[in-house]
């Protein structure tokens, strides 16, 4: 099977973090959100992936992933431009997939359970399509599955006011060409001006094609808001980093719990309490890094306290004074201060911003 990773969208709910780049490149637990998806595809046996790019700094995605060889993948880039909907993005990959079955994976979703068993299930079936569903508390935010009294999947509704079930589309779809492309060709834009994937799936069902489903039993997250980013970071640190890994230098410092310190990172006179991640080349001096914190590459932390936060690459945090909690700090941002008040502050800082407290 081939893979299609959707890397578009405007990420309006994550501004200012997405003013300068795609939301899928926001790092959680040491990796961009979309890298977790690419690695999931690779571990499911996919070797070739088309990355469908939007119009928000697509060159940054190409620059970061290159040809994909560092991940053991062969990447092809397809430019969608303006986000005309998931179904439109899928249709743009028709030449790439050819006659092969393929997996569509939304690049801003994180699934704790690997999709390998679902990929095998689809390969061994005679289904024309298969969708993954997840039970959610508020289905009104998602595309929702509809079942008959016997429990058979009979349709989908996009963001319904009165959901027909609690099972939402999880953002992973399996297809066999060419039926899905023929259905998309006949779609009309929804009230949002998009070609909806729910309409494409409904078209397959109405056309008599076999559409199966399975349910993700583990944790799943659509990383569309700052709160989602922080929750995804916490859960990935908890479940994907099960052992201590210290490859950097530790000088007069204390490391407690499950901590990952990458090559070239330096701890001096600091306390680091896991689960947490400190990226390559970062320097942490006279600081406290608390649980559920991810520090990116080449950061500098001096005289600060931070916990339950995501700090991206090349960030400087220096003598802020107040403890930084529940925060996201964009790449190359600088936060300095001379505060002494014993309180915490919560920050959502865009890329290359400078804050003096």
Q: What CA–CA distance (Å, rounded) separates 99 from 134?
A: 29
- Long-range Cβ contacts of 311-319 (<8 Å, 24+ apart): 312/26, 312/27, 312/351, 313/27, 313/279
Q: How do 310-311 and 328-329 pair as beta strands?
A: parallel
- Kindly list the structural domains of the chain, giving each domain's residue range(s) and its CATH number in brackets, ordered by start: 2-222 (3.90.550.10), 241-356 (2.160.10.10)
On the question of pLDDT at 136 being above 90, the answer is no
The SS3 call for residue 7 is: strand
Region of poorest pLDDT, from 13-27, 118-132, 141-155, 323-337: 13-27
pLDDT in tens, 5-63: 998 665 556 555 555 556 788 888 889 989 999 999 999 999 999 999 987 778 888 99
pLDDT in tens, 275-328: 999 999 999 999 999 999 999 999 999 999 999 999 989 999 998 878 889 998
Distances 67 to 33, 48, 56, 75, 342 between C-alpha atoms, Å: 18, 10, 20, 5, 48
Answer whether 169's CB lies under 8 Å from 86's CB: no
pLDDT given at position 353: 65
Cis, bond preceding 134 (omega within 30 deg of 0): no
On the question of pLDDT at 347 being above 90, the answer is no
Residues 178-192, buried b or exposed e (16+ Cβ, 10 A)?
A: ebbbebbeebeeeee
- Give the residue from 35, 17, 30, 21 showing the smallest Cα distance to 295: 30
Q: What CA–CA distance (Å, rounded) separates 140 from 315?
A: 37
Region of poorest pLDDT, from 10-19, 155-164, 247-256, 343-352: 10-19
**In whole angstroms, what separates CA 139 from the centre of its chain?**
20
Give the Cα-Cα-Cα angle 224, 229, 230 (nearest 5 degrees).
145
pLDDT in tens, 208-222: 999 999 998 877 766
The SS3 call for residue 190 is: coil
Q: What tokens were used for 110?
A: 């994180």
- Give the residue from 22, 57, 26 showing the smallest Cα distance to 226: 26
Report DSSP state, residue 297. Answer: T
What's the CA dihedral at 102, 3, 186, 56 to 10 degrees? 170
């Amino acid at each position: 099977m081939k893979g299609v990773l959707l890397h578009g969208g405007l990420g309006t709910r994550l501004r200012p973090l997405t003013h300068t780049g795609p939301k899928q490149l926001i790092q959680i637990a040491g990796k961009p959100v979309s890298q977790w998806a690419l690695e999931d595809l690779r571990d499911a046996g996919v070797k070739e992936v088309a990355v469908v790019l939007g119009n928000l700094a697509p060159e940054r995605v190409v620059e970061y992933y290159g040809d994909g060889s560092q991940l053991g993948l062969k990447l092809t880039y397809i430019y969608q431009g303006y986000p005309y909907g998931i179904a439109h993005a899928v249709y743009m990959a028709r030449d790439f997939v050819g006659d092969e079955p393929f997996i569509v994976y939304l690049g801003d979703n994180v699934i704790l359970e690997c999709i390998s068993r679902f990929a095998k299930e689809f390969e061994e079936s005679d289904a024309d399509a298969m969708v993954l569903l997840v039970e959610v508390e508020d289905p009104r935010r998602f595309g929702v599955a509809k079942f008959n009294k016997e429990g058979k999947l009979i349709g989908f509704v996009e963001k319904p006011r009165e959901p027909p079930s609690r099972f939402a589309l999880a953002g992973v779809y399996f297809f066999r060409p060419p039926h899905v492309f023929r259905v998309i060709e006949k779609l009309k834009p929804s009230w949002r001006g998009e070609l909806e994937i729910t309409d494409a799936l409904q078209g397959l069902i109405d056309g008599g094609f076999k559409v199966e489903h399975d349910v993700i039993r583990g944790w799943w997250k659509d990383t569309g808001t700052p709160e989602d980013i922080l929750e995804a970071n916490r859960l990935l640190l908890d479940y994907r980093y099960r052992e201590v890994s210290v490859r950097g230098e530790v000088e007069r410092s204390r490391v407690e719990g499950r901590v990952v310190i990458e090559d070239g990172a330096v701890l001096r006179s600091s306390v680091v309490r896991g689960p947490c991640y400190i990226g390559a080349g970062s320097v942490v001096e006279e600081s406290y890094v608390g649980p559920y914190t991810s520090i990116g590459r080449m950061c500098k932390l001096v005289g600060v306290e931070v916990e339950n936060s995501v700090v991206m690459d090349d960030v400087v945090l220096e003598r802020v004074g107040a403890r930084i909690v529940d925060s996201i700090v964009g790449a190359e941002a600088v936060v300095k201060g001379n505060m002494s008040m014993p309180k915490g502050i919560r920050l959502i800082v865009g890329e290359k911003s400078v804050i003096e407290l």
